[in-house]
Homo-oligomer: A and B are copies of this chain.
Amino acid sequence: MSETKTLASYIVNARFEDIPDDVRHEAARSLVNFMGVALAGSVDPAVDIAIRALTPFSGKPTAAILGRVERLDPLHASLMNGISSHVDDFDDTTPQNYIHPTSPVASAMFAYASANRVTGRDFLHAFVLGFEAESRIGNAVYPAHYDVGWHITGTAGIFGAAAAIGRLRGLSEQQMVWALGLAATQAAGLREMFGSMGKAFHPGRAAQNGYASAILAESGFTAGERGIEGPRGFAAVQSAKYDLTEVTRELGTDFNLRRNTYKPYPCGIVNHPTIESCIELHHAHQLRAGDIVAVRLRVAPLVLDLCNQQNITRGLQGKFSVYHGAAVGLVRGQAGLDEYTDAAVNDPAVTRVRERVTASGDPGLTEDQAHVEVELADGRRLTWFVEQSLGNIHRPLSDRQLDEKFRRSAARALPPDAIDIALDRCWRIAELENVGTLVDATVPAVQRA
């Protein structure tokens, strides 16, 4: 029994008719969330730098980059889309494996669709299949793989990009086995990069290299036949413990997309219950920075494993600081994109409160829960407990909340009328005759023309 072959066969042979309606709708929600977030991230300096550095190495500029006027070849456009859609740490999360799943898959697919005609129906189907490949392989190796330090969005993500592009290219089963093998042997990304541009580079490279894996396999470039399950394959090499049945169990009937979640705040998801508690406290008590003497957090232990940076100077670091999340929630009553800039991290009022926050890990709390106690200068002690944070699987963002998030995010890159067009095409993606028209709707120059 070869998991690689079984998965490849499913990806090659699956039929759109067999994708349930709720899964199709969740796929559209994932793409709406992705696109807004990618547009917000497209103005980030990390994208500017990557485009400047790599344009001399780009092939013919046949592909648009989401939110940008520059054009590059589709592989480089995949990379840039991946950086844009993850650099704000605002993209989606499958909580059972902590993958940010849409970025590696959709970043490659939109680059592909901007250079090649793809119908919305084929696009949505290939996206579902890529998402499934990625998330199932992630399930197989989580948590040991993640715990040792792999950024699973990079490592699992490349399988999703290879599967989705391979499906769009119409690979044979043998070619798909090779594409997954070439993905396995390029799976990479270290959590040591968190807090630097390197983090967003991971889904970008996953998109780019997964795409290339499909293209190479299509041309006959061979790989090991058992890239996922072989004794020297992905699971055995990159995870101390793994369960390969996760790759194929209920394949085609159970869909990981049903367990996707969307963030209300652009930062590490484990900070969210703390942030929500602090925002609630801010609004309930009209808190100001000068009032706050001490802040004591009780959080799940994983929060301190991931987000324990307190002395920080850069916006990217703020995304992995539960202290910063608490501070902006208490001081500003919100935690949007503006709360994770370098300026916000160095805002004296925010810094003052951040330095007064202490945190302890409590194994009795889940990663959706946080308890916050604030001590005020007048002696009062305020507390708040979040049982299920907004955006988690039990309190998902509604379609309308996703609209709002899209509008706020996309406003960084697009004028208001262009935002409406792009949002409308995202929701109607399954009906589009050519997904390239959606990509065009995100490009300022095309919008102006």
Residues of A within 8 A of B (CB): 46, 49-50, 52-54, 56-60, 73-76, 148-151, 154, 181-182, 184-198, 201-202, 205, 212, 215-216, 218-227, 230-234, 236-237
> What are 27 pairs between A and B in contact, CB < 8 Å?
A46-B222, A49-B219, A49-B220, A50-B216, A53-B215, A53-B219, A56-B60, A57-B212, A57-B215, A59-B59, A59-B73, A149-B233, A150-B237, A181-B193, A181-B196, A181-B198, A182-B198, A185-B189, A186-B205, A188-B188, A190-B233, A190-B234, A191-B232, A192-B224, A192-B232, A192-B233, A197-B221
Given the complex of chains A and B, what is the CA–CA distance between A74 and B185 in angstroms?
22
- Complex Cα–Cα for A231 and B216 (A): 35
Known contacts A59-B59, A185-B188, A198-B182: does B215 contact A54 (CB below 8 Å)?
yes
What are the 5 closest A-B residue pairs judged by CB atoms, nearest first?
A149-B232, A53-B219, A191-B232, A149-B237, A192-B232
Q: Which residues of B contact A230 (CB under 8 A)?
A: 192
Q: How far is the CA of A212 from the CA of B198 in the complex (A)?
A: 13
Q: Closest CB of chain B to A28's CB: distance in Å?
A: 30
Q: Which residues on the B side are within 8 Å of A223 (C-beta)? A: 193, 196-198, 201
Contact call A202/B185, Cβ cutoff below 8 A: yes
Which residues from B are CB-within-8-Å of A184?
190, 192
CB contacts (< 8 Å) of A53 on chain B: these are 215-216, 218-219, 221
A76 CB to closest chain B CB, in angstroms?
8
Q: Kindly list 7 other residue pairs between chains A and B, CB separation below 8 angstroms, not including A194-B232, A197-B221.
A: A49-B219, A50-B221, A53-B216, A57-B76, A181-B192, A185-B188, A190-B227
Question: What is the bound-complex CA distance between A150 and B237, given in angstroms?
Answer: 7
The answer on a CB contact under 8 Å between A188 and B190 is: no
Q: Are A227 and B181 neighbours in the complex by a CB distance under 8 Å?
A: no
Query: Do the beta carbons of B52 and A219 come within 8 Å of each other?
Result: yes
Q: From residue A231, how far is it (CB to closest CB) to chain B in Å?
A: 7
